[in-house]
């Protein structure tokens, strides 16, 4: 790729605080938010959530990880199956985002559905 092509590829910006990410999402009014649920192997050890806010030439990225039975920054619940594997429900993520951002007019997409 030529150097000029890289200039138009955009940038990734890490956002460490939920309130900051939420403010950006409310201000920028994106058409969609993408989420990735990351499971460790075995899933008993680590469960994390990554939210990606694609706006113009920038992707704002927020990461949250488990602490006890919920995610540390957002408080989204962590469920445990009969084998002790921990997981996050897609519906919990979607409900949380719609409630927090007070919007219904945007898509919430799992990374796997893109």
What does the CA dihedral 50, 29, 54, 88 come to, rounded to 10 degrees? 20
Asked if residue 42 has a cis previous peptide bond (ω within 30° of 0), the answer is yes
The answer to whether 49 touches 93, Cβ cutoff 8 Å, is yes
The answer to whether 94 touches 45, Cβ cutoff 8 Å, is no
Selection from 30, 20, 27 nearest residue 53 by Cα: 30
Q: The domain 9-109 is classified under which CATH number: 3.30.720.90, 3.30.470.20, 3.40.50.1400, 3.10.20.600?
A: 3.30.720.90
Task: Specify the pLDDT at position 6.
Answer: 46
Task: Specify the pLDDT at position 24.
Answer: 95
pLDDT in tens, the chain (114 residues): 444 444 555 799 999 999 999 999 999 999 999 999 987 655 555 688 999 999 888 999 999 998 889 999 999 999 988 988 888 999 999 999 999 999 888 899 998 643
């Amino acid at each position: 790729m030529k150097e000029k092509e890289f200039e138009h590829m955009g940038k990734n910006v890490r956002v460490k605080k939920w309130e900051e990410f939420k403010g950006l999402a409310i201000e920028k009014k994106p058409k969609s938010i993408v989420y990735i649920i990351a499971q460790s192997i075995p899933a008993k050890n680590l469960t994390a959530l990554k939210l990606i806010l694609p706006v113009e030439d920038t992707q704002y990225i927020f990461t949250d990880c488990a602490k006890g039975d919920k995610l540390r920054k957002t408080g989204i619940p962590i469920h445990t199956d009969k084998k002790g594997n921990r997981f996050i429900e897609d519906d919990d993520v979607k409900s949380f985002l719609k409630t927090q951002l007070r919007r219904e007019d945007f898509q919430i997409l799992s990374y796997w559905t893109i």
